[in-house]
Structure 1
Amino acid sequence: MFAGTMLIGALVAAPITEVKARDWPHVLLEDLAAADAAMRGSHPGAVDHLNPGFGSQLHGALALARSRAGKVDSFAGYWWAMKGYAASFNDGHVSLNALAGAPELPTRWPGFLTGFDGDAQVVMTVEGGPGHPPLGARMLSCDGMDAKTLAARRVGDFSGRWNLQASRIHGGGEVLLEQGNPFVQALQACVFAVDGRETSYALQWAPLDTVQLKKRLADTRRSFRPANGWHTMPGGGYWITTSSFNADPTEPNFNELTRLIEQLAAEAEGLQRSPLVVLDVRGNSGGASQWSLALARLIWGRTAVDALPDSSWVEWRTSEANIAQLRSFLLKLETAPDASPELLRMLQTVTSGMAQARADGVALWREPSQPTAEAAPAGGQRAPAHTGRVVIVADAACGSACLDALDLWKRLGAIQVGVETSADSLYMDVRPERLPGGMTRISVPMKVFRGRARGSNEPHAPDHRYAGDMRDTKALEAWLIAL
């Protein structure tokens, strides 16, 4: 199985200035029409008899975005209208991404940003100088609007899934940013709890460049993507980091994880005898499940892993665009020397099965179950080869195939530490749809999961919550060993 970000890479807007005037309402309406057509033509929800409300969701998302066209007179207005459209689906797999060369959003900040600590919004990064609340000050309201409502309207309505703690951790730093969004009010003053007193601060807006924006937002999220790799720990433990499950053979991550699996295969006996194995997935937003399956087989043994019962299955939307996307990825894998034979077989089965189903007029094609290497024993599941502790370190970035990894590892006995993960719907495996305006593309899910034990948009909660900075690996390791 693969999910989420395996099929498309990261998309970053180039920091250039908008130089030519455009009919922005027309661009918005044209791109909305193309996005709506892609969703109706390729999203499994549009033909999913188990989700009869999806048609209304499509209609509502389009109607809301179209209603905003009158306020769109720049790229920023276009961007936030399109962001609101994608957010209406409340699905992390339906996302809007800027293409290289898209105009840069004008960004200003008041000299400090807040982030979420539980339900509270507190100052997490601040520029030196007077007139700013101190680090740790709790935001109560701005311009008469309470902090909770403020965050939901300024960020949640344009990012979606605001009910998830992970979404608030990821997006909370944007509450006090001004980025040209014409659908929210500019802020004048905010009230903070400081040393037991309520103190009002007038907001003094100043430009914030792209480099500083990235750094300041990282401070509010307290998360980062460590390098893939592994090392031994005191007492014979193993710390294994997989910060991405991207399986694109043209990307560096593919070669890094291939080497990692090869190195750990030579350590399989030590892994299985180790008193502690740490699986570090900080920063991992998904990719392909082949990596987490391979790790599980090395740690718990192939026999125990392949004997786990699995009553889930998937159905693929048989659109021409979806089939073409999968065929393109299959061609990449066929030329990669280290491609997983299992993933290759799966893609070959899926592409041919979808093509035949489309020819037969079948809109959703059920992927056949893949036989495992070991049949389940008559007396129940086989005992795992590893009997020591296995601990998963996860943060709010964990989504898609990272969540699938936790599904599997926790069934095998692993415990989770860190913070609550993100979550995904039952629609996944996205393909990119480039929109005609030439500045953005929207991701369109291609398959629907059936029979999954974890519900739609249900996160994984940690068994032990880490209250410190998730970027401090040394402190995190010391805390974990002491558990």
Structure 2
Amino acid sequence: MSATTMLIAVLLGMSATEVPPREWPDVLQKDLDAADAAMRGSHPGTVDPRNPGFGAQLDEALALARSRTDRVTSYQGYWWAMKGYAASFNDGHVSLNALSGAPVLPAQWPGFLTGFDGDAQVVMTVEGGPGHPPLGARLLSCDGIDAETLAARRVGDFSGRWNLQASRVQAGGEVLLEQGNPFVPALRKCIFRIYARDKTYLLQWKPLGPEARKERLDDTRRSFRPANGWHVLRGGGYWITTSSFNADPAAGNFQQLTRLLQQLTPAADALQNAPLVVLDVRGNTGGASHWSIELAQLIWGRRAVEALRDESWVEWRTSDANIAQLRGFLQKLTQAPDTSPDLIRMLETVTDGMSRASARGDLLWREPSEVPAAPVRPEEGGDLRRPGRVVIVADASCGSACLDALDLWKRLGAVQVGVETSADSLYMDVRPEALPSGLARISVPMKVFRGRTRGSNAPHTPDIRYEGDMRDTTALEAWIRGQ
């Protein structure tokens, strides 16, 4: 942008990153074309013989987004068209994220927001003053549209996987937000049920700033991300919090997890004999699975982990972009202190194998399994069961590598408490693809899981449901000790 153009933008109150309204349809078309090219060129689904319908899914997603071009006259229109494109894949690993410098999405609210409590949508956060339904009031309809349909149209169509309880919990608070989406009508009045009586409320819209928006939406989700760490429980045992499995050595979470494992390693015997170990993964949306494997080896013992027979494997899409992404990540890991040698060795194996497969013209490369040829027999390893309880605390945020952690820990005997988790498809390990506008990036899965016991987009359901506020760690800890 030239100095003159930037000055005009400032005078008009327009962000320097914005594009004049008449250019937004072109911005959308170019970003859609780039996203579609990245998906076709690097997503394993396009060459997956077990998913012959994926090509048609790509065509339908692109056609839907293009059909909205005529109504795109602003950044908001661009954003929601792109969000709808990503959501149509119903895959949490295909997501759209704003880049630094993109305009802030404006938001308005009527002074209260609803969230999902089971299948019901109830008021979960409200500002003081008259004219608002009380906390706990159940939303019945708005402008003649029933609450279930309203949520699916206003939020589900632009977030995806709306059949999952976790998706509704995580995104349901946006039903009564106005965020400039031109593809859904503005709401005027809603009907709530309060103590067996129905009452209509006219919606009085007012601005909601970014920080306040985050706080109010957190209230509707009733979850949060605690800090990584651990402490000794009163009465014996350990509470271990891993709210992220980030594998990026430049990230603070990576360094925290590295320190956590270093601190717990000398206590391996105590962990394996503790009467109670709590594995807290609240807020954990994934990362890399090696963290959960190393924790399992500390808590149950290496032999118990190795005794599990795993018939699953993965295949990687051998595109140049995918190989370059993994090579760059491997370089970062090798330059970082305290990086797990197992993680480096795994990435070296994958990048070398994909490169050789690509040179042969193979579109998919099967990663060799590291599973032992046969499981350890009990008579060889002794009693591999640990004497105490292991409890997993998980919320609706749990996805990707967090789900892999639950797959492993529950097979080892852990009990899950909390609420239903999120879910993932069989396409995973994403790379970011920055779009030409510089406003957003789309994530593109690079591998496909084969033989996984947990099905595609299947969540983990708790063995014991927790009905309290998942943010209240003190109450949660007391409840677990009393189980």
Pick the TM interval, shorter chain: over 0.9
Is 1:297 the counterpart of 2:297 in the alignment?
A: yes
Between the two proteins, the alignment pairs up a number of residues equal to 469
Shift of 1:376: 2.0
Find the residue that maps to 2:438 and give its secondary structure. coil
SS in 1 for 2:406: helix
Q: What's 1:12 paired with? A: none
* 1:38 matched to 2:38: yes
CA distance in 2, matches of 1:227, 1:71: 43
Query: Any idea what the Cα deviations from partners look like across 1:45-81, whole Å, max 9, x if unmatched?
Result: 0000000110110000000000000100000000000
What is aligned with 1:288?
A: 288
Deviation at 1:377, TM superposition (A): 2.5
Matched letter for residue 213 of structure 2: L
Does 2:216 align with 1:210?
Answer: no
Closer/same/farther in 2, CA of residues 191 and 381 from structure 1, 3 Å limit: farther
Q: Secondary structure at the match of 2:284?
A: coil
1: CA distance, partners of 2:356 / 2:120: 53
1:53 aligns with 2:20: no
Note if contact 1:308-1:381 (Cα within 8 Å) is conserved in structure 2. Answer: no
Give distance in 2, aligned partners of 1:479 and 1:385.
Answer: 25
For the 8 Å contact 1:110–1:205, the answer to whether it is kept is yes
Structure 2 residue aligned with 1:238: 238
| Contact 2:300–2:385 (CA under 8 A) maintained in structure 1 | yes
Q: Where does residue 4 of structure 1 map in the other structure?
A: none
Measured at CA, do residues 370 and 382 of structure 1 come closer, stay the same or move farther in structure 2, by a change above 3 Å?
Answer: farther
Tell me the alpha carbon deviations over residues 263-321 of structure 1, each in whole angstroms, 9 at most, x when there is no partner.
11111111111111000000000001111001100110001101210100000000000
For 1:215 and 1:17, how far apart are their aligned partners in 2?
28
2:222 maps to which residue? 222
Following TM superposition, by how much is the alpha carbon of 1:384 offset from its aligned partner in structure 2, in angstroms? 2.5
1:267 is paired with a residue whose SS is helix
- How far the C-alpha of 1:234 sits from its partner, in A, is 1.7
Residue type matched to 2:463 in 1? D
Partners of 1:18 and 1:176 lie apart in 2 by 28
**What TM-score do the two structures reach when normalised by structure 2?**
0.95
Structure 1 residues 16 and 111, CA, compared in 2 at 3 Å: closer, same or farther?
Answer: farther
CA distance in structure 1 between the aligned counterparts of 2:63 and 2:107, rounded to whole angstroms: 28
Residue deviations 1:106-159, cap 9 Å, x none?
210000000000000000000111110000000000001000000000000000
2:3: which partner in 1?
Answer: none
Q: Find the counterpart in structure 1 of residue 104 from structure 2.
A: 104
After the TM superposition, which residues 84-103 of structure 1 pair with which residues of structure 2 at under 5 Å, given as runs?
84-103=84-103
Q: 8 Å contact 2:306–2:372 — kept in the other structure?
A: yes
Give the letter for the 1:21 counterpart: P
Tell me how large the CA RMSD over aligned residues is: 1.5
Q: Distance in 1 between matches of 2:372 and 2:266?
A: 23
Aligned to 1:476: 476
C-alpha separation in 2, matches of 1:137 and 1:182: 28
Deviation of 1:382 after TM superposition, in Å, equals 6.0
In the alignment, the residues of structure 2 paired with residue 37 and residue 273 of structure 1 have an alpha-carbon distance, to the nearest angstrom, of 53
Amino acid at match of 2:36: D
Q: Give the drift of 1:19.
A: 4.9
| Mean Cα deviation higher: 452-461 or 261-270 | 261-270
Q: Which residue of 2 aligns with 1:24?
A: 24
Identity rate, percent: 72
CA offsets, 1:143-200, max 9 Å, x none? Answer: 0100000000000000000000000000010000000000001000000001210000
| Structure with more contact order per residue of length (Cα contacts < 8 Å, sep ≥ 6) | 1
Q: 1:225 to 1:213 in 2, by over 3 A?
A: same
Q: How does 1:404-419 map to 2 (within 5 A)?
A: 404-419=404-419
TM-score, length of structure 1 as denominator length = 0.95
For residues 411-437 of structure 1, the C-alpha deviation after alignment (integer angstroms, 9 at most, x for no partner) is 000000000000000000000000001
CA distance in 2, matches of 1:449, 1:265: 31
> Per the alignment, do residues 19 and 371 of structure 1 end up closer, same or farther by CA in structure 2, a change over 3 Å counting?
closer
Give 2:64's aligned amino acid: L
Unmatched runs of 5 consecutive residues or more in structure 2: 1-13
Correspondence list, 1:57-206, <5 A:
57-206=57-206
Q: Contact 1:161 / 1:167 at 8 angstroms: preserved in 2?
A: yes
> Are the counterparts in 2 of residues 317 and 446 from structure 1 also a CA contact under 8 Å?
yes
Q: Which residue type is aligned with residue 64 of structure 1?
A: L
Q: Structure 1 runs of 4+ off > 3 angstroms?
A: 15-20, 371-375, 378-383
Partner of 1:6: none
Letter aligned with residue 358 of structure 1: S
Distance 1:347 1:158, change over 3 A: same
1:363-374 equivalence runs, <5 A = 363-371=363-371
Matches of 1:418 and 1:311 in 2, distance apart? 29
Runs of 5+ unmatched residues, structure 1: 1-14
Q: Read off the aligned partner of 2:249 and give its amino acid letter.
A: P
